[in-house]
């Protein structure tokens, strides 16, 4: 199992307070996503506390084939199938170009990952990263999907996290630091 129960519950609660999240029930699988993260697994593999949190926010579980958007201070809203399909395709549609792995570096609050066979760096929000089991995140590698998301998949579970690149930064010094980080292999240990 790659999904960390406490991290997923925390990410759901934060999403609930800040912009909401969408839950899709389809063919025995649950998909939960926001603008910054996406996860899919069988309902039977969804951590119990995450399920309880969704029920607490919605008052129910969506029927098979239904998607519901949930946010604080609002009623759960059914989402049209076309919109959900576009959202899911946006997350799942990127080609896997290479793999990235965890490096012990943070920059501007983002945990960095670097290509295994290159030097491009990707930043991930630590709150979203906590959805993934720590050992999987730190010891395994993630697929780089479409250059904009890091993806972990195992045994029917998929977690995708939005990844930032140097073009995200507004200030020239931030881009300069990012380029300097990419000029070295951050996986190497000195000594």
Direct distance between the N- and C-terminal alpha carbons of the chain, in angstroms, rounded to an integer: 35
Classified as helix, coil or strand, 82 is helix
Q: Where are the domains of the chain?
A: 5-92, 96-182
Indicate the pTM of the whole model.
Answer: 0.92
HEC string for 117-130: CCCCEEEECHHHHC
Is the model's pLDDT at 191 over the cut of 70?
no
Is the model's pLDDT at 154 over the cut of 60?
yes
Say how far apart CA 40 and CA 74 lie, in whole Å: 24
Identify the burial level of 86 via C-beta atoms within 10 angstroms of its C-beta, where 0-12 means exposed, 13-18 middle and 19 or more buried.
exposed
* Sequence-distant (≥ 6) Cβ neighbours of residue 8 within 8 angstroms: 39, 47, 50, 131
Q: Regarding predicted confidence, which is higher, 88 or 14?
A: 14
Say how far apart CA 158 and CA 167 lie, in whole Å: 26
Is the model's pLDDT at 168 over the cut of 80?
no
- pLDDT digits 0-9 by tens, 66-108: 999 999 998 999 999 889 889 988 888 777 879 999 999 999 9
């Amino acid at each position: 199992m790659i999904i960390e129960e406490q991290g997923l519950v925390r990410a759901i609660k934060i999403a609930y307070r800040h912009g909401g999240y969408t839950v899709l029930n389809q063919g025995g699988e649950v998909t939960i996503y926001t603008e910054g993260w996406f996860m899919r697994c069988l309902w039977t593999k969804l951590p119990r506390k995450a399920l309880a949190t969704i029920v607490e926010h919605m008052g129910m579980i969506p029927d098979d084939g239904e998607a519901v958007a949930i946010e604080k201070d609002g009623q759960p809203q059914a989402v049209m199938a076309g919109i959900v399909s576009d959202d899911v395709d946006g997350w799942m549609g990127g080609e896997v170009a290479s793999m990235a792995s965890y490096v012990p570096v943070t920059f501007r609050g983002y945990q960095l990952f670097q290509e295994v066979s290159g030097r491009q760096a990707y930043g991930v929000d630590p709150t979203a990263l906590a959805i993934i089991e720590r050992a999987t995140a730190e010891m395994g590698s993630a697929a780089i999907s479409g250059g904009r998301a890091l993806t972990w998949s195992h045994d029917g579970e998929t977690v995708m996290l939005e990844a930032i690149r140097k073009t995200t930064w507004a200030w020239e010094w931030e881009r300069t630091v990012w380029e300097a980080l990419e000029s070295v292999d951050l996986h190497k240990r000195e000594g």
